[in-house]
Amino acid sequence: MEPFSSITAVALPLNRVNVDTDQIIPKQFLKSIEKTGFGKYLFNDWRYLEGDESRPNAEFILNKPAYEGAKVLVAGDNFGCGSSREHAPWSLNDYGFRCIISSSFADIFYNNSIKNGLLPAIVTPADLEKLMAELEANPGAVLRVDLREQVIAAPSGLSIAFEIGEDPRHSLLNGLDDIERTLQHEAEITAFEEKRKQSVPWL
């Protein structure tokens, strides 16, 4: 998993609450267990007219030229609610997003994001409102998100602290998924297994 320390990139304001995982990536595209190839289906029902990829919806913010190459998504409250599909962070990652900022996330989406190297940064509702207003007033604005300092910096000088648990922060900073975190204790695991073989050799 790619480590995450900080990012400076165009931020896209998706000013909608309760965006669920079926809106992030509709169920008909969940036909692969690979982590790639899902970016083109991100927000499919909003992004394309009648879900037809050949007919982009010019009114949907992801299709607006100012947000081309955006890597930070600023979303409304309760982002990632609904079913527990891991394809949701896969599609966000595959599109190019590295960080999602919101005032709250669904628990399963939050954990799945961290396991896939995507930073879910939690800010207060008041700070989210300020940030959303600034981004909507300045299309294409760039944010700096610093995980070490846990701070978001906007062009206006607005500085916002965000929450993240110490364990998720450690995982993201060091690029560790669950397996890699376990392997950090490989020596202890090996010693335990050897001791167990001696105490219960019949197992």
Domain ranges of the chain: 6-176
CATH class of 6-176: alpha beta
Answer whether 0.75 is exceeded by the pTM: yes
Angle in degrees, CA 164, 168, 174, rounded to 5 = 120
For residue range 111-130, list pLDDT tens digits in order. 999 999 999 999 999 999 99
Mean model confidence pLDDT for the chain: 91
Among 107, 101, 50, CA closest to 77: 101
Q: How far is CA 81 from CA 110, 154, 163, in A?
A: 10, 27, 19
Per-residue pLDDT of the chain (203 residues; tens, 9 = 90+): 889 999 999 999 999 999 999 999 998 888 877 888 899 999 999 999 987 788 999 999 999 999 999 999 999 999 999 988 899 999 999 999 999 999 999 999 999 999 999 999 999 999 999 999 999 999 999 999 999 999 999 999 999 999 999 999 999 999 877 666 666 666 776 667 777 777 877 76
Asked if residues 21 and 84 have their Cβ atoms less than 8 Å apart, the reply is yes
Among 44, 78, 81, 80, CA closest to 63: 44
Output the pLDDT for position 34.
Answer: 80
Output the pLDDT for position 182.
Answer: 64
DSSP-based three-state secondary structure for 22: helix
Output the pLDDT for position 154.
Answer: 96
* Tokens, residue 29: 């595209």
